[in-house]
C-alpha cells in the first residue's frame, strides 16, 4: 500500500514537473518575440530606461503606421508575396509532375532517377551559391546576353533570378512521390481503358486525389520561401526594387541608428513575420506531415 | 505495352482483345503520341531533368572549374590549378579557425539542443493543450532569420539590451553576449538552439507517438517506475529517431551560416569568432570577389561534411544493430 501511494505521489510530482518545464520553455520562446512587438511601442526613453520597462506605459501605436510611410513596406510585402506565390506554384507543379512519373510509371532508368533525387538532397546549398549566381548572369540570350552569354547581365536584377533556382526541389519531388505511390493503379488503368490521355489522367484524376499532399508541400514551400534570405539577398543587393521584406529590412539596417528608428525596425520585423504566423496557425497540421515525412519510422 | 512485343523468352505474345476489335488502329496524332504511356512520363519529368542539368549538375562542374582559377568576376579567369586547395589546406590560418568554429557550432547546438528537445517532446506528448504548446514552440522556426537575429540583438545588446539591464538591477555584471570574442559563438549556438527547438521536438514527438503503449503497460505491471520507463523503454525505442535527428542536425549545422551573417552584419566578428566556414566562403565570394578561392573552400567544406556523414552513418548503423 505504501509503495502504491509513493508511486502515485511520484507520478503527480512528475506531472507538475512536466508542466513547469513546458511553461518555462514556453516563456523563453515567447518573451523575446513579445519584446520585439512591444519594443516597437516603447518611447525612446523607455527603450533605455533603468530599471528596464517591458510593457510600454504609453504605447506608440503610430510606429506600426509610420513604417508604411517611412519605409518601402508595401513594395517589400508585394515582392515577398509575388516571389513566394510564384515559387510555391512552380514547385507544386514540378514536384507533382516528377513525383507522379516516378511513382506511377514503369520505364527504364526510373529507379536510378529516384535514387538520384534522394542523393541530390545530400548536397548542401552553399555549394551552389557561386556557380548558380554566374550561370544566371551568363545565361545565353537573356538580359542582353548574346548566344555565348556575354554582353549583358543575364537574369541578374530580375525576379527570375530570385525565383528560378527554387522552381524545382528534390525534397518536393520526394514528398509528392510518397503521396502518389498510395494511389491505386486500377483507378488510372480504368481511365486509360476509357481512352483518357496521360495528361488528362494526371490533371483530372490523380492530382485531385493528392490534395492533402499538395497542401503539405504548399505550406512548407510558402513558409520556407517567405523566410528565404541568403539567396534573395545575394541577387538583389543592388536592386532595392526587387527586395523581399526580410532582405529589405536587413539591407536597410544602416538607417536604424537611434532609439526612435529602432522601434520602427522592430515594427517592420514584426509585420514581416505576421503573414507566416497566420498561415501557419491555419494550416499547421499539414506542416507537421511535411516535416515528419522525411524522418524514419520508429 | 505494345501488343506484339516479344516476352522474356522471345516468343510473340498473342494479340490482345483490344487489337481484335480494331484490326487497324486509328492513326496516331502527335497529341496521342505525347499522351501515350511511353512518352508521357518523360514529359512529366522534363522540368526536373532540365533543372537538374542547369541548376544541379552544371553548377557542380562549373564550381569545380572556378576553384581551379583565380577570378574576381570582373576580368577573365586565370588558370591556377590546385593552388587554392593547397593554400586553403596548408597556408591559410583563417580557414582552420573557421573550421573549428563550424565544429564548435554544430557540436554545441546538437549537444544542447537534442537532449533539450527530447525531454520537452517527452513532456509535450503526454500533456493537455498540444496545439497551444506546439504553436508556441514552433514560433521561432517559422520566423525569418532577420527577425530572429534582431530580436536577440536587441535583447542581448551590451548597454541597452533587456537582459543586461535586468542583470544590472540584480547587481550582476553585464557580459558582452555578442561582443566578447570568447562568448559570441556560444551565444549564437544558444540562439540557434532556440530557433531549432520546435523542429526537433516535432521529430521526437512523432517518434514517441510510434512507441506502442503496451510496452509501457507491460513494464508497469513488472513494477518499473517512471524514470525506468524513460531510460529503459523510451530512449532505446526512440533510437532511430534520435539517430535521424543527430545526423540531419549535424549536417545542417556544418553548412549553416545565415544567422551569423545577419547577426554580425556579414563580418563574422568579433575577431572572426563567429566566422564559420560557410560564412568565410560567402565573404570571400561576395565581399572580396575571390571566386576561385571561395569555390575551393566550398568544395573542401563539402568534402569534410561528406566524410563526417559517412563516418556517422557507419558508427550509427553499428549502434543501431546493437540496439535491436
Average pLDDT over residues A50-70: 91
> What confidence tier does B188 reach under pLDDT thresholds 50, 70, 90?
very high
Percent of chain B at pLDDT exceeding 90: 58
Q: Which of residues 201-230 of B touch A (CB under 8 A)?
A: 202-203, 206-207, 210-211, 225-226
Dihedral over Cα of B286, B292, B296, B299: its sign: positive
Sorting pLDDT into bands at 50, 70 and 90, what band is A296? very low
Q: Is the pLDDT of residue B11 over 60?
A: no
pLDDT beyond 90 at A13: no
Q: Domain segments of chain B: what residues? A: 29-84, 86-323
Distances (CA, A) of A52 to A32, A155, B154, B264: 14, 49, 13, 25
User: What's the N-to-C CA distance of chain A in angstroms?
Assistant: 37
Give the tens place of pLDDT for each residue, B226-271.
778 888 888 888 888 888 898 889 989 999 999 999 999 999 989 9
- CATH number, span B86-323: 1.10.3720.10
Q: Which fold has domain A70-293?
A: MetI-like fold (1.10.3720)
| Contact check, Cβ <8 Å, B60/A250 | no
Q: Does position A8 have pLDDT exceeding 70, yes or no?
A: no
d(CA B30, CA B42): 15
Which grid cell sits at A7?
508511486
Whether pLDDT at A59 is above 50: yes
Q: Could you give the CA distance from residue A191 to residue A204 in angstroms, rounded to a whole number?
A: 10
Longest dimension (CA), chain A: 89
B111 has pLDDT over 60: yes
HSE at residue B205, side-chain half, CA atoms within 13 A, is 24
The CA distance from B183 to B186, in Å, is 5
Q: What is the pLDDT of residues A195-221, one digit of tens each?
A: 888 999 999 999 999 998 999 899 999
CB contact under 8 A, B226 and A281: no
pLDDT at B27: 59
Q: Model ipTM?
A: 0.91
Angle of helix A211-226 relative to helix A259-293, nearest 10 degrees? 150
**Is A35–B302 a contact, with Cβ atoms under 8 angstroms apart?**
no
Rg of chain A over Cα atoms, rounded to whole angstroms, equals 25
Contact at CB, B124 and A199, closer than 8 angstroms = no
**pLDDT, averaged across chain B:** 87
Between A125 and B210, residue with greater pLDDT = A125
Q: From CA B63, how far away is CA B23, in angstroms rounded?
A: 57
B116 burial class (0-12, 13-18, 19+ CB within 10 angstroms)? middle
Q: What pLDDT does B323 receive?
A: 43
Distance CA B64, CA B295 (A): 7
Give residue B1's pLDDT band: very low, low, confident or very high (50, 70, 90).
very low
Q: Which of A274-283, B88-97, B190-199 has the lowest mean pLDDT?
A: A274-283
Amino acid at each position: 500500500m505504501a509503495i502504491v501511494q509513493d508511486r502515485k505521489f511520484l507520478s503527480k510530482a512528475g506531472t507538475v514537473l512536466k508542466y513547469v518545464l513546458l511553461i518555462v520553455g514556453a516563456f523563453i520562446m515567447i518573451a523575446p518575440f513579445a519584446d520585439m512587438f512591444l519594443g516597437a511601442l516603447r518611447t525612446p526613453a523607455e527603450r533605455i530606461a533603468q530599471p528596464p520597462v517591458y510593457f510600454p506605459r504609453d504605447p506608440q501605436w503610430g510606429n506600426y503606421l509610420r513604417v508604411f510611410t517611412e519605409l518601402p513596406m508595401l513594395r517589400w510585402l508585394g515582392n515577398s508575396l509575388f516571389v513566394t506565390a510564384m515559387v510555391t506554384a512552380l514547385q507544386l507543379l514540378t514536384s507533382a509532375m516528377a513525383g507522379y512519373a516516378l511513382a506511377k510509371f514503369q520505364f527504364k532508368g526510373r529507379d536510378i532517377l529516384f535514387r538520384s533525387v534522394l542523393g541530390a538532397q545530400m548536397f548542401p546549398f552553399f555549394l551552389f551559391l557561386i556557380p548558380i549566381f554566374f550561370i544566371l548572369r551568363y545565361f545565353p540570350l537573356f538580359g542582353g546576353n548574346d548566344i555565348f552569354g556575354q554582353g549583358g547581365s543575364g537574369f541578374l536584377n530580375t525576379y527570375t533570378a530570385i525565383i528560378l533556382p527554387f522552381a524545382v526541389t528534390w525534397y518536393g519531388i520526394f514528398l509528392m512521390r510518397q503521396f502518389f505511390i498510395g494511389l491505386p493503379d486500377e483507378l488510372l488503368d480504368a481511365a486509360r481503358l476509357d481512352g483518357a490521355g496521360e495528361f488528362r489522367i494526371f490533371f483530372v484524376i490523380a492530382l485531385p486525389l493528392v490534395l492533402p499532399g499538395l497542401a503539405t508541400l504548399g505550406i512548407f514551400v510558402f513558409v520556407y520561401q517567405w523566410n528565404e534570405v541568403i539567396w534573395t539577398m545575394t541577387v538583389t543587393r543592388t536592386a532595392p526594387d526587387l527586395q523581399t521584406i526580410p532582405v529589405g529590412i536587413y539591407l536597410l539596417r544602416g538607417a536604424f541608428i537611434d532609439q526612435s528608428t529602432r522601434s520602427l525596425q522592430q515594427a517592420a520585423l514584426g509585420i514581416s513575420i505576421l503573414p507566416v504566423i497566420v498561415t501557419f496557425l491555419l494550416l499547421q497540421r499539414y506542416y507537421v506531415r511535411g516535416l515528419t515525412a522525411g524522418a524514419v519510422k520508429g | 505495352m505494345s501488343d506484339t512485343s516479344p516476352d522474356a523468352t522471345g516468343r510473340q505474345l498473342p494479340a490482345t482483345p483490344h487489337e481484335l476489335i480494331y484490326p487497324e488502329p486509328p492513326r496516331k496524332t502527335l497529341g496521342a503520341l505525347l499522351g501515350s504511356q511511353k512518352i508521357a512520363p518523360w514529359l512529366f519529368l522534363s522540368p526536373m531533368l532540365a533543372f537538374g542539368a542547369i541548376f544541379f549538375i552544371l553548377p557542380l562542374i562549373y564550381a569545380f572549374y572556378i576553384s581551379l582559377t583565380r577570378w574576381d568576376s570582373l576580368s577573365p579567369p586565370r588558370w591556377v590549378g590546385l593552388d587554392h586547395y593547397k593554400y586553403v589546406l596548408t597556408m591559410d590560418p583563417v580557414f582552420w579557425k573557421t573550421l573549428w568554429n563550424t565544429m564548435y557550432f554544430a557540436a554545441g547546438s546538437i549537444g544542447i539542443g537534442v537532449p533539450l528537445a527530447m525531454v520537452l517532446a517527452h513532456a509535450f506528448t503526454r500533456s493537455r493543450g498540444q496545439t497551444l504548446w506546439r504553436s508556441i514552440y514552433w514560433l521561432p522556426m517559422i520566423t525569418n532569420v532577420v527577425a530572429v537575429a534582431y530580436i536577440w540583438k536587441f535583447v542581448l545588446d551590451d548597454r541597452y539590451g533587456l537582459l543586461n539591464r535586468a542583470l544590472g538591477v540584480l547587481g550582476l555584471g553585464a557580459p558582452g553576449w555578442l561582443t566578447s570574442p570568447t562568448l559570441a559563438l556560444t551565444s549564437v549556438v544558444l540562439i540557434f538552439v532556440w530557433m531549432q527547438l520546435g523542429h526537433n521536438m516535432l521529430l521526437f514527438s512523432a517518434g514517441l507517438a510510434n512507441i506502442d503503449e503496451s510496452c509501457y503497460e507491460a513494464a508497469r505491471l513488472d513494477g518499473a517506475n517512471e524514470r525506468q520507463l524513460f531510460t529503459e523503454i523510451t530512449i532505446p525505442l526512440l533510437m532511430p529517431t534520435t539517430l535521424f535527428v543527430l545526423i540531419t542536425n549535424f549536417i545542417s549545422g556544418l553548412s549553416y551560416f545565415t544567422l551569423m551573417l545577419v547577426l554580425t552584419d556579414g563580418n563574422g566578428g568579433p575577431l572572426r569568432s563567429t566566422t564559420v566556414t560557410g560564412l568565410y566562403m560567402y565573404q570571400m565570394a561576395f565581399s572580396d570577389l575571390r571566386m576561385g578561392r571561395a569555390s575551393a573552400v566550398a568544395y573542401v567544406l563539402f568534402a569534410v561534411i561528406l566524410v563526417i556523414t559517412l563516418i556517422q552513418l557507419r558508427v550509427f548503423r553499428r549502434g543501431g544493430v546493437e540496439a535491436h
